[in-house]
Structure 1
Amino acid sequence: MRTAGRRAGAEAGERRIDWAARHMPVLRAIGARFAAERPLAGLRIAACLHVTAETAVLMGALRAGGAEIALAASNPLSTQDDVAAALAGYGITVHARAGVDRDTYYRHIHRALDVEPDLVLDDGCDLVNTLHTERTELLERVTGGCEETTTGVIRLRRMAAEGALRFPVVAVNDTRVKRMFDNRYGTGQSTLDGVMRATNALLAGRTVVVAGFGYCGRGVAERARGLGARVIVTEIDPVKALDASLQGYEVRPMAEAAAEGDVFVTVTGNRDVIRAEHFAVMKDGAILANAGHFDVEIDVRALGELAVELNPGVRPNTDEYVLPDGRRLLLLAEGRLVNLTAAEGHPAAVMDMSFAAQALAVAWLARERAGLAPGVHAVPEEIDAEVARLKLDAAGVRIDVLTPEQEDYLRSWRIGS
């Protein structure tokens, strides 16, 4: 019976992956190219990524390129078990299961590293961190990596600044297609999708507080305003705060915004953005959601200590914390990524571009790694441009090209006004 159940799960995962692949024409084209060119032949890859249908399409492209892959989850609450089951049938080793505890999460990362990788793919730097702290015997073999998200790049840059990073890592997160489309449009839509699925809340006429106005925060703010919400932005960066203000958003410290918000979304990559003093003044029924990768942006421990009663699962992915004065605060997805826990993450059409950049960056890294020093490296601009061109072609969108005279003009400093 267990075998039949696993097979049914794998079939469901295959359907989910097929649906995602339909909306990922760029990555499909790259996968076909990889199958012909085999740029990753003979390489072992350990990956720590969200185990979703879109990730499965990326894994298929890398497998087509010749890589042996072991995959662990970068967030246990985002793991789609049916996709994990289906990936096993594609020749990819998966160490992931939805809802596992912290110890099991790291045990899965260790199992992925047991493949003794040549290259690593990370989403949040947990795998790279484990390599440098607990699996140092593998560092001599690892010759490069890619990092997918802002939080991970921040951690890697700190490692590099301290001289601790032992191999080159490509910051896929910092490509223009990733920041503009994945972070802004993907996070904006999928975060509010998660909030609404978890609560069925009407956002029109409500006050949404967005903590952080980077690309992800901009996306959330734009989509919330588009749904009729009043949006307050909190920031620590004066330039980003000025940008938010000039775009017409209210900008306030969290200490002031806490008393006015109906829905709070953290998108900063830092810890304790919403903490005890903020919970103390929030409205009854305030909704707390995180879209900033790790479950530290909302101080869940402090919330638990303040509460006199916890009602878990009042709705799927919604836990109710009752404070001494009777106010109820609603925490979504246990403070983890709301868009990947309460919803399905970014639309496949968005991940098509991010994972296309990831795939091309892996192939570039496999080719160039011997000449790269340890540290954080930018993705070559030609990869960014190629992904955008492929996406435009798939959408049937045409753009202008420079004439020879225009190219000469841009290259020369001798031509006057």
Structure 2
Amino acid sequence: MLEDFERARIADYFTRISASLPNGRRASAIAITHLLPERPVFLHALADIADLRAVLPKPKSIDEAARSEASRHWRCDELDRARFTTAGDLLAYLEDTVPGERVVLLDIGGYFAPALPQVCDRFSGRILGIVEDTENGHRRYLSHGKPPCPVYSVARSPLKIPEDFLVGQSIVFSTEALIRSRGDILYGRGATVIGFGKLGSSVASMLHSRNVRVTVYDTDPIKLTHAMAQGFHTASSLREALQGAGIIVGATGNLALRRSDFERVPNGAYVASVTSSDDEMELDEIRGAYAREHLGPNITRYSRTGHYFYVLNGGNAVNFLHGASVGAFIFLVQAEILAAVALLADQEHETAHHELPTDIRESIAATWLEHFTGAP
């Protein structure tokens, strides 16, 4: 929970950001969001620049106090990926929530991507654009080639680099906390990190700093060269990478472990993820083959004759167990999201993928530095 002075400080920062953004025309907004303790402050800032019609909390990252506050101010609906994958269902939701309105959709994970082309054609209002927060979601919108509406992605923004680095640290912190809850420790176990993108590389670096032997596997040979240059052992196949692993961290956002891969997970290994189980692991596919035993609220033992391993937090992002905090650095990314919403509402955009202009990013960074560090 935020202290009152912390909340006021964050709100003052967003006020400064909002004052620098275009404000000629407003739009409506629907926001998919992690509803963590600090998030209502961001939602209030969003509501200052757009008409926030609905909040869709990601179900595996909800703080109940934050949900209670959000529900007092805005409509809060259940988020269901399967529902929004169907054009008819997504269209019905938009017609119920923002009929005939100019609307910006804030996304985390590409929920709106599958049905977006049909919905853009049939919606009674106008979808001004999408603002996507994650690499996984960014890829889903890229899969359209030319998107059906403007898409701003902050996933690859330089303002997100500090957050990505600190998320990797929080993943390792939570993984270690769960392992220690069983009376076990990180040390003496080899770790395998699957995926060497921004989060995977941060996880690997943090594990290495804890004196854990790290093997990296990625299907992209360029990323493997990056891992090798940073001193990590690399594997040419997932089969090789899993051999002898005592800790396995999936960081691909695109099924790091499929059904057949679990057969190669070493006995006693701990399996963790940086994102949701639906995106990272085919756990549903192995439930008939393995018995499950809950050893605590966030550790599940999967076993069958001669084989067992432990899955942390049900295969979902382990860092959300401890708040997934990255400190004030999250407000860099949130400010960029606000800026993208304001630009989509105020200006006509080509139907394409967009990034914020460099001068706006630099202004956000300068405001953040002055506000949170006192730097001139």
> TM-score band (shorter)?
0.7 to 0.9
1:4-19 maps to which residues of 2 (within 5 A)?
Answer: 16=1, 18-19=2-3
1:58 aligns with 2:35: no
* Bigger strand fraction: 2
1:150 aligns with 2:129: no
CA shift at 1:383, angstroms? 2.3
Task: Give the AA of the match of 2:238.
Answer: M
For 1:139-168, what per-residue CA distance to the aligned partner results, in whole angstroms no more than 9, with x for missing partners? 741112211000111111111x1x4x3210
Q: 1:382 aligns with which of 325, 344, 359?
A: 359
Corresponding residue number in structure 1 for 2:323: 344
1:334 aligns with 2:318: no
SS in 2 for 1:126: coil
Q: TM-score, normalised by structure 1?
A: 0.78
| C-alpha contact (below 8 Å) 2:90/2:119 kept by paired residues | no
Corresponding residue number in structure 2 for 1:46: 30
| C-alpha contact (below 8 Å) 1:35/1:64 kept by paired residues | no
| C-alpha contact (below 8 Å) 2:195/2:218 kept by paired residues | yes
SS in 2 for 1:295: helix
Change (3 A) 1:122 1:19: farther
2 CA distance for matches of 1:20 and 1:240? 44
SS in 2 for 1:320: strand
1:266 aligns with 2:250: yes
For 1:23-72, what per-residue CA distance to the aligned partner results, in whole angstroms no more than 9, with x for missing partners? 89566422355379893874210111212223322111111235233110
Corresponding residue number in structure 1 for 2:114: 129
SS in 2 for 1:248: coil
1:393 aligns with 2:370: yes
2 CA distance for matches of 1:235 and 1:20? 44
Change (3 A) 1:188 1:28: farther
For 1:368-401, what per-residue CA distance to the aligned partner results, in whole angstroms no more than 9, with x for missing partners? 2x2x1112111211222122212322344658xx
Task: Give the AA of the match of 1:363.
Answer: A
Change (3 A) 1:24 1:208: farther
CA shift at 1:315, angstroms? 1.5
Corresponding residue number in structure 2 for 1:174: 156
Change (3 A) 1:382 1:49: same
SS in 2 for 1:209: strand
| C-alpha contact (below 8 Å) 2:215/2:232 kept by paired residues | yes
| C-alpha contact (below 8 Å) 2:17/2:335 kept by paired residues | no
Change (3 A) 1:380 1:50: same
For 1:221-264, what per-residue CA distance to the aligned partner results, in whole angstroms no more than 9, with x for missing partners? 11111222111110122221111111111101220121211111
Task: Give the AA of the match of 1:196.
Answer: E
CA shift at 1:353, angstroms? 1.4
SS in 2 for 1:127: coil
More moved, 46-55 vs 232-241: 46-55
For 1:153-206, what per-residue CA distance to the aligned partner results, in whole angstroms no more than 9, with x for missing partners? 1111111x1x4x32101111121011x112222x21221233234332522332
- Overall identity of the aligned pairs, in %: 22
| C-alpha contact (below 8 Å) 1:353/1:388 kept by paired residues | yes
2 CA distance for matches of 1:299 and 1:396? 43
Change (3 A) 1:33 1:255: closer
Corresponding residue number in structure 2 for 1:373: 350
| C-alpha contact (below 8 Å) 1:198/1:316 kept by paired residues | no
Gap runs ≥5 in structure 1: 1-15, 400-417
Change (3 A) 1:389 1:25: farther
Aligned-residue CA RMSD (Å): 3.1
| C-alpha contact (below 8 Å) 2:244/2:266 kept by paired residues | yes
CA shift at 1:214, angstroms? 1.0
Corresponding residue number in structure 2 for 1:364: 343
CA shift at 1:131, angstroms? 4.3
| C-alpha contact (below 8 Å) 1:189/1:346 kept by paired residues | no
Q: 1:218 aligns with which of 197, 201, 219?
A: 201
2 CA distance for matches of 1:350 and 1:365? 24
Task: Give the AA of the match of 1:168.
Answer: P
Q: 1:250 aligns with which of 222, 233, 244?
A: 233
Corresponding residue number in structure 1 for 2:332: 353
Q: 2:164 aligns with which of 179, 183, 195?
A: 183
Change (3 A) 1:291 1:108: farther
2 CA distance for matches of 1:148 and 1:328? 36
Change (3 A) 1:148 1:104: closer
| C-alpha contact (below 8 Å) 2:168/2:199 kept by paired residues | yes
2 CA distance for matches of 1:299 and 1:318? 17
Change (3 A) 1:81 1:105: farther
Q: 1:322 aligns with which of 300, 303, 316?
A: 303
2 CA distance for matches of 1:109 and 1:338? 33
| C-alpha contact (below 8 Å) 2:91/2:119 kept by paired residues | no
| C-alpha contact (below 8 Å) 1:20/1:57 kept by paired residues | no
* Bigger helix fraction: 1
2 CA distance for matches of 1:95 and 1:195? 31
For 1:301-332, what per-residue CA distance to the aligned partner results, in whole angstroms no more than 9, with x for missing partners? 3432431x111x3122222111221x321112
2 CA distance for matches of 1:21 and 1:151? 35
2 CA distance for matches of 1:198 and 1:382? 43
2 CA distance for matches of 1:61 and 1:366? 15
CA shift at 1:130, angstroms? 4.2
Change (3 A) 1:152 1:36: closer
